[in-house]
Structure 1
Amino acid sequence: MRFQIILVAVFCCGFVDLRKIRGISSSYKRFYKERKSFLCIDGSKMILFERVNDDYCDCEDGSDEPGTSACPRGRFYCTNLGFRPHYIPSSRVNDGICDCCDASDEYNSHVHCQNTCWNLGQRERAYVEGQMRTLDEGLRLKQQLIEEGVLLWREKQAQLRDLQQVAEDLQIKLEEHRRKKHEADQLKEQTLKAMQGGHSGLRRHNDTVSSVFKLLDCNKDGSITVDEVQAKVTLVHDAERVLSEDEAVALLAGGHQMDLTKFRHTLWEILTRGDSVKIKDTHGAPGSLLAEDPHLMAADRDAEWETTNLKKVEEAYQTVNMEISDLQKKLAIDYGTDWEFLFLSSQCYKLKVYEYTYTLCPFNHVTQRNTAGTEVSLGKWGMWAGTPENQYSQMVYENGEPCWQGGSRSTTVTLTCGTETSLLSVKEPSKCQYITDFQTPVACQPVLKQRGVHSEL
């Protein structure tokens, strides 16, 4: 009889220990040591220890029923040896569905669950090992890209210095050509004044006026008529059109004919300006002294030569300054702590999703093109927007084309570690707001490798 009592006592104690330890992680076992009372983990209530796992919820936090489904807020811990341990809601315990891969949640169920933890763990271990291999290869490629980035950065810095030196040289040339043009213009003006001043200059001027008058006086009757103006004078910017009678009358100071004296003070001055009308089959102001005086012709050629040279130098100077400005803007971008992202600045990556082709040009823009060839801007380079731990994990492209409902399109690019650089996916979770996955070796972080494979795998 005494032996039977002892046996029952041992059996009961063993049953109690087994019942009470079920559904508890190793880190929480200290709360469930055998004693007379049990304190709810949230400290809200003290109960008899025998009421733990008795299939009745006493604690508000469900901590007294870790191995049953009695508490609505309870949690059951799946140990899952060989795989990843995790918690499930206690309502799933003994519900006829296998939630824990080690079948521990169906200990008192009619369902017979297979322990699949080893197979799951094996697959996960293979996946993690593949990720580690990818990380190793990615880090190796990243190091190469860092070295290339440093060299490229130095090349661009040297290119900037060269352009700045060219700009300085062009500025010196520009000042020199401006001085020469000013001198040539002054010489031309002085020559012209010298020719028009004095008795001989005035005589040459009067001879020129008379020659032009005779050229227009086709019938040599000593006067110029409307018909003669229409026959000999044309518009500077429309030489093919014949002047109307009203236009000819206007040139004749409102009359239908004029003599040499009136011509000298009216039509001659209009013709010499050369900005509205000219004599047919000539290229400049008719009767221009340039065609007759070699000194003035030489001065004019020098002025035109210096004007041409000045224009060329000005254009070259503007072009170089534009190149400097563009290069400075590119060098001002944050390409990573070791310039590892610099190689992306000259690349574009495409991905076709249904009827759309998406193009990502890092540090530039993102576009969407449909099958009809219409291209829409989904944003221009804005900034890095990653986490404080890794700010280079996300890019933001802003101020794309306006959306029909208001606002502008924008794209968030998430960078992930990979052995290749490519655009993996594009989605539009909300109207005109796009997210993309972009893999590249330079997104690989050494810190990832420290996590390793879970110790319980």
Structure 2
Amino acid sequence: MHFHIIIAAFICSGVVDSWKIRGISSSYKRFYRERKSFLCIDGSKMIPFEQVNDDYCDCADGSDEPGTSACPHGRFYCTNLGFRPHYVPSSRVNDGICDCCDASDEYNSHARCQNTCWNLGQKERAYVEGQMRTLDEGLRLKQQMIEEGVLLWREKQAHLRELQQAAEDLQIKLEEHRWRKHETDLLQEQTSKALEAGDNGSRHQNASVAGLFQLLDSNKDGRISVDEVKAKVVLVHEAKRVLSEDEALVLMGGGREMDLTKFQHTLWDTLTRADNVMIKDGASGGPMSEDPHLKAADRAEWEATNLRKVEEAYETVNMEIRDLQKNLSIDYGTDWEFLFLSGQCYKLQMYEYAYSLCPFNLVTQKSTAGTEVLLGRWGMWAGPPKNHYSQMVYENGEPCWQGGSRTTTVTLTCGTETALRSVKEPSKCQYIMDFQTPVACQPVLKQRGVHSEL
């Protein structure tokens, strides 16, 4: 009989003890073991254990009243089996409003609370599963973009080598044209001197002399040789026959070569006045005395035009090389996974503004009135060390009326699509953007969010 009384007393003691430790987590139960006294968790005070959860606040940290609303700084622990456990301020205990999904905070009130933890847990589990599916799909797409980025990087490197080779070829061609331009300038100078001397006829005639001399001077060395005369001069009635050595020497007055001055006094008269010889002028042929294009000035202008075209082409290629080198110098991630964003722009309409994010370039804001404002140019990656590529900074935008320039911080989040999701201006001229893309997805060892009790 005495034994049964002890058992009953123990059971009653257990019930009382269970009631007393209401509102604490399992990790704190060690502080609330039934004993003669209770030490406040902050160590500030020792009280009799009967004063724990007696609806009177004895400890400054509220640790003696975890299950009542007596202490202003106390906390009540919601177990929420099937969902996430959490704390609520102890002032909400038995206030007639259900704060815990398991209704444990209203154990002594008139509120009729239903346990909704299982339904909330189901919704959160479905959300987490959806997030995991999104992560898996994002990682799959990211791998594709990494492969595309590597290929694109190689293509750009190959294009750069092609441009550099083209620049080298154009440089050689440019030097050749500069040399030709120099030679034509010298010839034009000689022509001008001959015109000033006035030795043979009119200014028009001397200009033709220089043009004909230049045509015969195939190697552009400023002299006409026997071989050059044989290559260009033919008899009118035997146009297909090449002049013999003796015939060429006779036309040249017995010498084997001549400069412009000697040409003007010898071969020029023969070619322009004799009826039995003529110059082979490309496909057309005909006496050079009747060809208006053989003028030194025309030749110089033609060479200058060609030189200008080659210079423009050379500058264009070098500009493309500089732009491509600048583009390739940007950090596109460890595997060039962000390279596909280069050259793209993503837009979002927010109220009266249209925002545009052009990764690795600039960010703009355009009003309905058509006014466009620069919110920043590409600056740097600014994510934390563990996720360096999670944040972009665009700086040196247009000046703000309060001073300083506009800046934009872009946070990259994981998603199956690449799109600009939101834009905020938490402080004047300081913008924050949420940019979703698969390349921002990161593999994780453990998904956080759902408690193990789920």
User: Shared fold by TM > 0.5?
Assistant: yes
Structure-2 separation of matches of 1:293 and 1:204: 15
2:375 to 374, 378, 390: 378
The aligned counterpart of 2:237 is none
Q: Does residue 1:417 correspond to 2:414, yes or no?
A: yes
Structure-2 separation of matches of 1:327 and 1:427: 33
Amino acid at match of 1:148: E
The SS at the match of 1:113 is coil
The aligned counterpart of 1:102 is 102
Amino acid at match of 2:105: D
Paired residues, number: 371
The aligned counterpart of 1:369 is 366
User: 1:114 Cα deviation (Å)?
Assistant: 0.9
Structure-2 separation of matches of 1:448 and 1:420: 23
User: 1:47 Cα deviation (Å)?
Assistant: 3.0
User: 1:356 Cα deviation (Å)?
Assistant: 2.2
Structure-2 separation of matches of 1:164 and 1:102: 72
The aligned counterpart of 1:39 is 39
Gaps of 5+ in 2: 207-288
The SS at the match of 1:200 is coil
Structure-2 separation of matches of 1:181 and 1:453: 80
User: 1:434 Cα deviation (Å)?
Assistant: 2.1
Q: CA 1:297/1:34 → structure 2, altered by over 3 Å: closer, same or farther?
A: same
After superposition, give the CA deviation of every residue in 1:225-281 in whole Å (9 maximum; x if it has no partner).
Answer: xxxxxxxxxxxxxxxxxxxxxxxxxxxxxxxxxxxxxxxxxxxxxxxxxxxxxxxxx
Q: Is the 8 A contact 2:94 2:109 kept in 1?
A: yes
1:323 to 293, 312, 320: 320
User: 1:96 Cα deviation (Å)?
Assistant: 1.5
The SS at the match of 1:376 is strand
The aligned counterpart of 1:77 is 77
Q: Does residue 1:444 correspond to 2:425, yes or no?
A: no
Q: Is the 8 A contact 1:57 1:64 kept in 2?
A: yes
Structure-2 separation of matches of 1:364 and 1:148: 20
User: 1:319 Cα deviation (Å)?
Assistant: 0.6
The aligned counterpart of 1:235 is none
After superposition, give the CA deviation of every residue in 1:15-53 in whole Å (9 maximum; x if it has no partner).
Answer: 331133211112222222333333322233333333322
Structure-2 separation of matches of 1:157 and 1:106: 69
The aligned counterpart of 2:137 is 137
Structure-1 separation of matches of 2:401 and 2:378: 22
Deviates more, 1:49-58 or 1:86-95: 49-58
1:215-364 matches, within 5 Å, as 298-364=295-361
Q: CA 1:51/1:167 → structure 2, altered by over 3 Å: closer, same or farther?
A: same
The aligned counterpart of 2:282 is none
Structure-2 separation of matches of 1:427 and 1:190: 73
The SS at the match of 2:173 is helix
Q: Is the 8 A contact 1:192 1:296 kept in 2?
A: no
TM-score (norm 2): 0.75
TM-score (norm 1): 0.74
Structure-2 separation of matches of 1:384 and 1:448: 25
Q: CA 1:299/1:113 → structure 2, altered by over 3 Å: closer, same or farther?
A: same
Q: Does residue 1:160 correspond to 2:160, yes or no?
A: yes
Q: CA 1:325/1:448 → structure 2, altered by over 3 Å: closer, same or farther?
A: farther
The aligned counterpart of 1:115 is 115
The SS at the match of 2:386 is coil
**RMSD (CA atoms):** 2.8
Amino acid at match of 1:50: E
Structure-1 separation of matches of 2:293 and 2:78: 104
1:408 to 405, 408, 432: 405
Deviates more, 1:294-303 or 1:73-82: 294-303
Q: Is the 8 A contact 1:135 1:449 kept in 2?
A: no
Q: Is the 8 A contact 2:82 2:121 kept in 1?
A: yes
The aligned counterpart of 2:148 is 148
Amino acid at match of 1:33: R
After superposition, give the CA deviation of every residue in 1:387-419 in whole Å (9 maximum; x if it has no partner).
Answer: 222122222222222333333322222211111
**Percent identical residues:** 80
The aligned counterpart of 1:391 is 388
After superposition, give the CA deviation of every residue in 1:90-131 in whole Å (9 maximum; x if it has no partner).
Answer: 111112111111111111222221111001101111111111
Gaps of 5+ in 1: 209-291
Amino acid at match of 2:436: Q
Amino acid at match of 2:139: L
Q: Is the 8 A contact 1:340 1:442 kept in 2?
A: yes
User: 1:453 Cα deviation (Å)?
Assistant: 4.3
Q: Is the 8 A contact 1:191 1:296 kept in 2?
A: no
Structure-2 separation of matches of 1:300 and 1:364: 49
Amino acid at match of 2:99: D
The SS at the match of 2:342 is helix
Structure-2 separation of matches of 1:193 and 1:37: 123
Q: Is the 8 A contact 1:382 1:396 kept in 2?
A: yes
Structure-1 separation of matches of 2:143 and 2:3: 74
Structure-2 separation of matches of 1:83 and 1:296: 95
User: 1:430 Cα deviation (Å)?
Assistant: 2.5
User: 1:67 Cα deviation (Å)?
Assistant: 1.6
User: 1:86 Cα deviation (Å)?
Assistant: 0.6
User: 1:63 Cα deviation (Å)?
Assistant: 1.9
Q: Is the 8 A contact 1:188 1:296 kept in 2?
A: no
User: 1:145 Cα deviation (Å)?
Assistant: 0.9
User: 1:359 Cα deviation (Å)?
Assistant: 1.7
Deviates more, 1:104-113 or 1:54-63: 54-63
The aligned counterpart of 1:279 is none
Structure-1 separation of matches of 2:449 and 2:64: 35
User: 1:367 Cα deviation (Å)?
Assistant: 1.8
User: 1:11 Cα deviation (Å)?
Assistant: 5.2
The SS at the match of 1:381 is strand
The SS at the match of 2:420 is strand
Q: Is the 8 A contact 2:124 2:450 kept in 1?
A: no
Structure-2 separation of matches of 1:335 and 1:92: 51
